[in-house]
Amino acid sequence: MNRREFGHTGIYLSPITFGSMRLAPDRVRLDLAVEMITRMAERGLTTFHSSHEYESYPFFCEVMQEFRSKKPSAEVVHIAKIAVPHFHDATFTGSRLSTLIEDQLRALGTERIDIVQWLVRHQPNEDEQRLTILAECQQALTATWERLHGEGKVGVLTSFPYSVPFAREVLKLPLCEGLVTYLNALELDMVPFLDAMEKAGQGYVAIRPFHAGLITTENMGQSSCGSFGVALCANRSNAQMEKLVSTLRILNVPEDTVTDFALQFPLLHPAVASVIVSVTSLNHADEVMDASDRAIVDKETFTKTINSLSPSLV
Ligand SMILES: NC(=O)c1ccc[n+]([C@@H]2O[C@H](COP(=O)([O-])OP(=O)(O)OC[C@H]3O[C@@H](n4cnc5c(N)ncnc54)[C@H](OP(=O)(O)O)[C@@H]3O)[C@@H](O)[C@H]2O)c1
């Protein structure tokens, strides 16, 4: 699996990032989880996304510890989700950022968080307040970041913006080197930023290419969800399923290649370095690695796809 540079940062990611949110001991045993990650790593996986807020976090840390003792020379790149301020905090504080970074370094057993996915939160979590926090925190953020960076504890700062207006503002900051946020055939809000990000040397990591398991061959083929002809699904909203079916029809995606399409679509754009996907079974791990082996960068096809789906975004 060819590595892709995250923007012009010198940090290289595997096209697939292992998303740890669904990795829980009630879904997969420790030895199986280690085997799955080892198998994916042998096929080129280097990059892992985690959050200390996920219920799966202690188990993921245990899995990574086992994996590292089994494969001590394996390259590991960490993307970690860090919220400062958190919902109940009034303002940004450098001390919370430092403490969370130090905690993640210890828990993950690593010397550096390569990509910090920064979230600015507020209660209520609205742009008016979040944009004010962003504007007011610049001095404290820069001072703390420069210290952590100087100590080699962090690589690059990126944003999970929650909204388009916030993405627009955060991408203007010299410290912000890209976005780690949603991008799949049903979540296209950030597409208008991609070309400018590519030009500016900023990177993008696309979250949930399968839209949480919806955009997969397996899901489309399960007859209660219906093949393309039947837009009904017992456990999904009809509107979402109908939108997906019409999207796949517009794009002429064959029913048996939906998983490939879902993984490969974000990676067509040169700004997108990696897609974060959850897998908890060896079969899914193999399918994901097979699909990413065939992923290419092809901006023209990306643009044509967007044009078919949502022409106003191009
Ligand atoms: N705010 C944030 O930063 C944020 C928010 C959401 C998610 N994330 C990150 O993104 C990752 C992915 O999110 P997600 O899990 O919601 O979405 P996703 O990766 O799009 O979908 C995961 C689902 O797809 C299934 N799957 C995987 N490979 C498959 C295959 N080959 N065929 C059929 N189904 C397959 C998985 O099943 P199995 O588990 O059974 O393999 C799982 O149910 C998370 O783990 C997390 O790290 C971050």
Per-residue pLDDT tens digits for 210-219: 999 889 998 8
Report whether residue 80 contacts ligand 1, using a CB cutoff of 6 Å.
no
Residue 3 pLDDT greater than 70, yes or no? yes
CA distance 148 to 154: 6
Q: How far apart are CA 31 and CA 29, in angstroms?
A: 6
Burial group, residue 238, by CB count within 10 angstroms (0-12, 13-18, 19+): exposed
How far apart (Å, rounded) are the C-alpha atoms in residues 5 and 297?
Answer: 13
**pLDDT score recorded for residue 1:** 66
Buried b (16+ CB within 10 A) or exposed e, 120-157: bbbeeeebebbbebbeebeebbeebbeebbeeebbbbb
Any atom of ligand 1 within 6 Å of the Cβ of 32? no
Q: Is 212 in the pocket of ligand 1 (CB under 6 A)?
A: yes
pLDDT band for position 237 (cuts 50, 70, 90): low
Lowest mean pLDDT of 118-122, 133-137, 248-252, 295-299, name the range.
248-252
* Nearest CA owner, ligand 1 atom 8: 207
SS3 call for 175: coil
108 φ, ψ (degrees, to nearest 5):
-90, -10
Q: Which 3 state secondary structure label does DSSP give 222?
A: coil
User: What is each CA distance from 307 to 216, 300, 304, in whole angstroms?
Assistant: 22, 10, 5
- Ligand 1: does its nearest atom lie under 6 Å from the Cβ of 78? no
Determine the average pLDDT of the residues in 87-102. 96
| Ligand 1 close to Cβ of residue 161 (< 6 A) | no
| Res. 234 pLDDT band, cuts 50 70 90 | very low
Residue 227, pLDDT > 70, answer no
Pocket test residue of 18, 190, 207, 218 for ligand 1, highest count of atoms within 8 A of CB:
207
Nearest CA, atom 9, ligand 1: 19
Q: What is the pLDDT of residue 293?
A: 94
Q: Is the CB of 280 under 6 A from ligand 1?
A: yes
pLDDT bin (cut points 50, 70, 90) of residue 313 is: confident
Written as six digits, the tokens of 133 are 């926090």
Averaged pLDDT, 94-111: 98
Tokens 């012009």 — which residue? 8
Nearest atom in ligand 1 to 277's CA: 19
pLDDT given for residue 266 in this prediction: 98
| Cβ atoms within 10 Å, residue 246 | 13
- The Å distance, Cα 147 to ligand 1 centre, comes to 34
Residue nearest to atom 41 of ligand 1 (CA): 279
Dihedral sign for Cα 126, 129, 131, 133, please: negative
Query: Average pLDDT, stretch 179-183?
Result: 98
Six token digits for residue 255? 């029913």
pLDDT for residue 224 = 45
How far apart, in whole angstroms, are the C-alpha atoms of residue 45 and residue 17?
7
In the structure, what pLDDT confidence band is assigned to residue 87 with cuts at 50, 70 and 90?
very high
pLDDT higher than 60, residue 194:
yes
pLDDT of residue 225: 47
Q: How far is the CA of 260 from the centre of ligand 1 (A)?
A: 14
**211 CB within 6 A, ligand 1:** yes
- Look at residue 241 and tell me whether its pLDDT is greater than 80: no
- Token pair, residue 303, equals 């643009």
pLDDT-derived band at 236 (thresholds 50, 70, 90) equals: low
Q: Mean pLDDT score of the chain, rounded to an integer?
A: 93
Measured CA to CA, the distance from residue 61 to residue 25 in angstroms comes to 12
Distance 19 CA to ligand 1 centre (A): 7
* Ligand 1 closest atom vs CA 117: 3
CATH level 3 topology of 4-212+263-296: TIM Barrel (3.20.20)
Helix (H) or strand (E) holding 205: strand 203-207
**Interval between CA 284 and ligand 1 midpoint (Å):** 10
Q: What is the mean pLDDT of residues 17-40?
A: 96
Q: Which residue has the higher pLDDT, 250 or 109?
A: 109
- Enumerate residues 6+ apart whose C-beta is below 8 A from 123: 87, 88
Percentage of the chain beyond pLDDT 90 is 83
